Amino acid sequence: MPRTVDHGQRRAHICNALVRTAARDGLHAATMRSVAAEAGVSLRLVQYYFETKAGLLHAALLHLEERSHRRWNERLAALPSPASPRARVHAFVAEAIPDDDDSRVFHLLWTSFAVLAMTDPALAEQPFVSGPERLERQLTDLLTEAHADGALPTDQDPALEATRLLAVTHGLGTDVLTGRLTPQRALVVAGYHVDRVFGARSTTDT
């Protein structure tokens, strides 16, 4: 066999180029050629590794989801070892608010894809349901655990609270990205929300 390069690595490199381009100029500006230029490769190579543009977008979406998943787990791991459910929930909302460049890019891209998926059912139906749903399940488990610990008032419904948490953080993220809210303000609101879900304040924040 002739020389063989690491396709996975190459694909990741191009996906990152897509992400950078789209973060700068919007997903609509992420063309085959602009992505190739950003990645420093020829147009042909983008075609080679992802047959079609749909394939490229699909791969980029998966790439994005995996990246966010890793980020969220790293953030959890960085917490002081026996972290309370409340602290972990707070870590979640803090991670979800676009305050640094990376999370800003993630939120922008994810929302861009979500908007596309609203009218194009063929576009990667999977990540838009399974991705957030896994998060939602994690949160539900977390809140159920908090129930058992007595950290969460018993009249709060874990499943509803998880959905609500996802909704409020996503909404705040969009407000930040459209410039309606500063990241700081969004964090305040998110913290306020966590305070309302759990009872009175008692924990440190991260």
Q: Does 43 bind DNA (CB under 7 A)?
A: yes
Residue 191 near residue 205 (C-beta atoms within 8 A) = yes
Residues across the chain: 206
Is 115 one of the binding residues for a copy of itself (CB under 8 A)? yes
Q: Does 196 bind DNA (CB under 7 A)?
A: no
Mapping DSSP onto H, E and C, the string for the chain reads CCCCCCHHHHHHHHHHHHHHHHHHHCHHHCCHHHHHHHHCCCHHHHHHHCCCHHHHHHHHHHHHHHHHHHHHHHHHHCCCCCCCHHHHHHHHHHHHCCCCHHHHHHHHHHHHHHHHHHHCCCCCHHHHHHHHHHHHHHHHHHHHHHHHHCCCCCCCCHHHHHHHHHHHHHHHHHHHHCCCCCHHHHHHHHHHHHHHHCCCCCCCCC
The answer to whether 112 contacts a copy of itself (rule: CB under 8 A) is yes
Q: Is 114 in the site for a copy of itself (CB under 8 A)?
A: yes
Residue 149 CB coordination number (10 Å)? 11
Which one of DNA, a copy of itself, none is in contact with 2 (Cβ closer than 5 to 8 A by kind)?
DNA
Q: With binding defined as CB under 8 A, does residue 31 bind a copy of itself?
A: no
Residue 125, Cβ density class (10 Å: 0-12 exposed, 13-18 middle, ≥19 buried): exposed
Indicate whether 192 belongs to the interface with a copy of itself (CB under 8 A). yes
Q: Which does 54 bind (CB under 5 to 8 A by kind): DNA, a copy of itself, none?
A: DNA
Nearer to DNA, 47 or 203 (CB): 47
Looking at residues 129 to 148 of the shown chain, list those that interact with a copy of itself (rule: CB under 8 A).
129, 132-133
Residue 24 binds DNA, judged by CB under 7 A: no
Under the binding rule (CB under 8 A), the answer on residue 178 touching a copy of itself is: yes
Nearest approach, Cβ of residue 11 and DNA (Å)? 10
By a kind-dependent CB cut-off of 5 to 8 A, residue 31 interacts, out of a copy of itself, DNA, none, with: DNA
Q: Is 167 a binder of a copy of itself (CB under 8 A)?
A: yes
Q: Going residue by residue from 61 to 100, which x/- string records binding to a copy of itself, judged by CB under 8 A?
A: ----------------------------------------
Residue 63 C-beta: closest distance to DNA, Å: 17
